[in-house]
Structure 1
Amino acid sequence: MFALFFSYLLSLLAVILRDYLGWWSGIWLCQVNTIVILEKSFMGLEIGCMSCNGSMYYDEVASGLIWLSGFVMSLSLVGVSEMAYLEGKLFFFVVALLFLVLGVCFGAESLLVFYILFEVSLIPTLCLICGWGYQPERLRAGKYMMLYTVGASLPLLGFVLFEVFKGGTSSFSLLYGFNETFLSWVMFACSLAAFLVKSPMYLVHSWLPKAHVEAPVAGSMFLAGVLLKLGGYGLLRFSMTFGLLSGVFLSSVVCLCLFGGVIASVVCCGQVDAKSLVAYSSVGHMSLVLGGLMSGSFWGLCGSNLLMLAHGLSSCGLFYLVGELYKVYSSRMLFVMRGMLGDLFGVNLWLAFMCGFNAAAPPSLSLVSEVILCISLVSHSIWFSVLVGMLGFLSCLYSWLLYCNTQIGNCPLWVRTFYQVGYCHTQGVICVSIVLPMVSMVVCGSLGKYLYLLKNFLSYDSVVGCWAYWGSFFFEKGCWNKYS
């Protein structure tokens, strides 16, 4: 809690210093936010532990998403570097407010507070879309988003009030267990719609491409990087607190999520708008997250948590690069955005990284999370292996199409060169900030695991146990004389 409010004070300080020291002072102060959140949130935490401190409740899941919120906020503020003074200051305030709401929502210990902030987060998002969108259709996109998300959240409100009045408390830590009466069963099943729409699941996803296409670059980065994770986080938290329904209902929802992800990936391969392509790819990836969460296994929860972090970073980078290419080409159409291989080498390099992360290329965090989810889903039902395999193939296909279609051909005559745009240093800061966590989480995690095993192996008890094991093996098999 202290880290959250301290980082928010740093954001307000960044707003003040921007007036005197320039825009980059605010950006680097926001980068300090991520370090503060990462250090304070994970201090003393271990895998599977939970800490409840009065009104705040956090574990490795909440801490990771709070860190992701601060990190994406820091990167998204680069998108307003060209804004006018008052407009940029207002944008900074809206983004900082959204970060505060999300941070408290991810760490809320009260079920009722979680629901309120779950809905309040839509207000700053609507301000970003309607206030800084590109086209008049942004009002329609905001209306779609509000109708879908608020309408689907009404059953969740009924379930929250029912549980609070029945249990006499709104604390997550005191609401463990689920009374499987018919009324509770129906209300809980209906309340899942709020999380499935917010994630979103295919068939209730149409608000997301509209919102992405009309939102500014920074708004799309925040929407894909953090806001979509609210649905997955709520589903994960509810599954840990109340337990998920088992049987035919659970398998049907998992199958629907995976099949919808395959359909969304096929639609993604046929997109000609680069921003729509990245938006539909988010639907495909989040369907895999939902499938892992609804599988009900421990590995499904772990893989979904990792994939939410990986997708938050990779989609944030893709939306940022699409916005930068829009500045160069003045269009988002793939048949216009061509010829990058010879003239736009800097963007070409970073786009290769982001498309690779989106396709779960090694050694990224996306690969680790998708492998864990594949194992979890296939162990749940062998028939899911077909859908999971198609999802993996199609994610590689549309990532390859996005990269290759922008490289071949010749640049249009009206296209400005990369150096005339003048954002080489900015793109380097943003993309390196995304590449390092995506790779270092895997490398450092693997290195830490092997160092832990090596430490245990080199300890006295482990060495004695190892010699005793192999000694007994040789004597029992009669191999001692053979090797002596």
Structure 2
Amino acid sequence: MLTILLTSFGMVISSIITPTQFLWRTLMAQSSVLTLISLPVLLPFHYASSWHTLSSSLATDSLSTPLIILSLWLLPLALMASRRHLQQEPLTYQRTYTTLLSILTFALMATFSALDIVLFYIAFEATLIPTIIMITRWGHQQERLQAGTYFLFYTLFGSLPLLVALLSLYSSFDSTNIPLTLLTDPLSGTPINTLILWWVASIMAFLAKLPMYGTHLWLPKAHVEAPIAGSMVLAAILLKLGGYGLVRFASIFSYPANFTSTPLVTFCIWGALATSLICMRQTDMKALIAYSSVGHMSLVAAGVFSQTSWGLHGTIILMIAHGLVSSGLFCLANLSYERTYTRTLALNRGLKLLMPLLTIWWLMTAAANMGLPPLPSLFGELFIMTALITWNPWTILITGITAVFSAIYSLYLFQASQHSSHPQYLKKMTPVFSLEHLNLSLHLAPLVLFTLKPEIICLT
């Protein structure tokens, strides 16, 4: 695993020093090799102990390993999806773009494998810099500056209480090591009011990054304005930083997490229902996909706050499945945008007559997004719903309605973009290239693997 970290850092150097004519081929080869050598980490012997130590500050376990593999799996796919629109950029901008993407991947790996809470915080905040540069420089419209401002201030204001809580933890316990730091009321001797204050301060940054409904206003703007690689990384990995942080800190603050579960779970499931309704009135393809991510991540947060084994298993399954599905949806939306030059659903219609092979990918991805059996999204949602029903039987009403509306807006996205007659101005279209079909197939192939062997991404 340490070799993977060093190799990912080598990609940053390669992005800077590789000759221009070999830049894309070198990075694609490096990222593909990096992905392949990381796959054996998913083998069961790595889960024999709770932590697989890399160094005194880095380690992985059954929670962080699937997220690291997901980050590395999507790196070559993001490069593959970005190459077409970056070919029109000057060579210096192409090199800058690939360097930022490599730095972002390295920061994500450091975040997921950090054994020290302070190192986790530094790597967590380091992901902000390359992301905001990609949004503000390579965004599609002038609103990209506003989107970058929203993203910056939501993240920073949410992270300041986390920093204060971490400093308080260190001053009280002289340790910020994740496996050794455990705050329960009998062991810590800390008053419950202080523990709840630390817990709320700690999760604010993760709820803004997740994002939970109420702290989500930056997400649709960032997704709509970001370039394709930015949207893919945002939806597939950066949102998972919030869920990963919640799971980690819920194990540290076990007693206050149980004490405050009622208001947090209630707000999360209500937010999932609200965003499902918002999705049904969207006219922008990327905005609809972005709001659907908010709804799914609200369910993830509810699974964490339920503090049950089923909820935590459903959380990790849904995070991995959503990362692949939402990234694939953004790829499909980008393919349509590159040919029609608009993301409006009313103008992106009848595409099955112009690009029939792409309709198959739309159908499969929309089915995965709605949680059609036997895909892993269904099992993640069922695990979380079962945990919530055990927590309170009345939650079946809201979560059931949310699942129905999730299916409705997924089918609406597929029907609106593929059926009916296409606009008259769409006479000729560039066909879908083999590289783009390969990109989409690599998004959906892991879902088939997880369906056949779900224990790969289940907590053990």
Report the CA distance between 1:21 and its aligned residue.
4.4
What aligned pairs does 1:13-24 form with structure 2 within 5 A after superposition?
Answer: 13=14, 19-21=20-22, 23-24=24-25
1:426 corresponds to which residue?
435
Q: Percent identity?
A: 32
1:436 corresponds to which residue?
445
The AA in structure 2 aligned to 1:136 is: Q
Distance 1:244 1:364, change over 3 A: farther
Contact 1:244 1:294 (8 Å CA) reproduced: no
Distance 1:369 1:247, change over 3 A: closer
What aligned pairs does 1:20-419 form with structure 2 within 5 A after superposition?
Answer: 20-21=21-22, 23-40=24-41, 42=43, 44-46=45-47, 49-52=50-53, 53-82=55-84, 83=86, 84=89, 85-178=91-184, 179=188, 180-181=190-191, 182-243=193-254, 245=256, 249-415=260-426, 417-418=428-429
Deviations 1:339-377 (A, max 9, x none): 112221122111111111111112221112111111111
Deviations 1:301-329 (A, max 9, x none): 11101111001000000011101100111
Q: What is the root-mean-square deviation of aligned Cα atoms in Å?
A: 2.2
Contact 1:48 1:60 (8 Å CA) reproduced: no
Structure 2: runs of 5+ lacking an equivalent: none
The AA in structure 1 aligned to 2:175 is: T
Normalising by structure 1, we get a TM-score of 0.88
2:10 corresponds to which residue?
9
Matched residues in 2 for 1:305 and 1:408: separation? 34
Report the CA distance between 1:27 and its aligned residue.
2.4
Q: Secondary structure at the match of 1:337?
A: coil
Matched residues in 1 for 2:119 and 2:254: separation? 20
Contact 2:210 2:297 (8 Å CA) reproduced: yes
Contact 2:15 2:95 (8 Å CA) reproduced: no
Task: Return 14-23 or 27-36, whichever deviates more.
Answer: 14-23
Contact 2:308 2:387 (8 Å CA) reproduced: yes
Report the CA distance between 1:20 and its aligned residue.
4.0
Contact 1:7 1:37 (8 Å CA) reproduced: no
Distance 1:58 1:142, change over 3 A: same
Matched residues in 1 for 2:144 and 2:455: separation? 44
- In the alignment of these two chains, the number of paired residues is 447
Task: Return 32-41 or 325-334, whichever deviates more.
Answer: 32-41
Report the CA distance between 1:270 and its aligned residue.
0.8
Higher relative contact order (CA 8 A, sep 6+): 2
Contact 1:331 1:337 (8 Å CA) reproduced: yes
Contact 1:155 1:190 (8 Å CA) reproduced: yes
Contact 1:271 1:277 (8 Å CA) reproduced: yes
Larger-Rg structure: 1
Q: Secondary structure at the match of 1:60?
A: coil
The AA in structure 2 aligned to 1:276 is: A
Q: Secondary structure at the match of 1:173?
A: coil
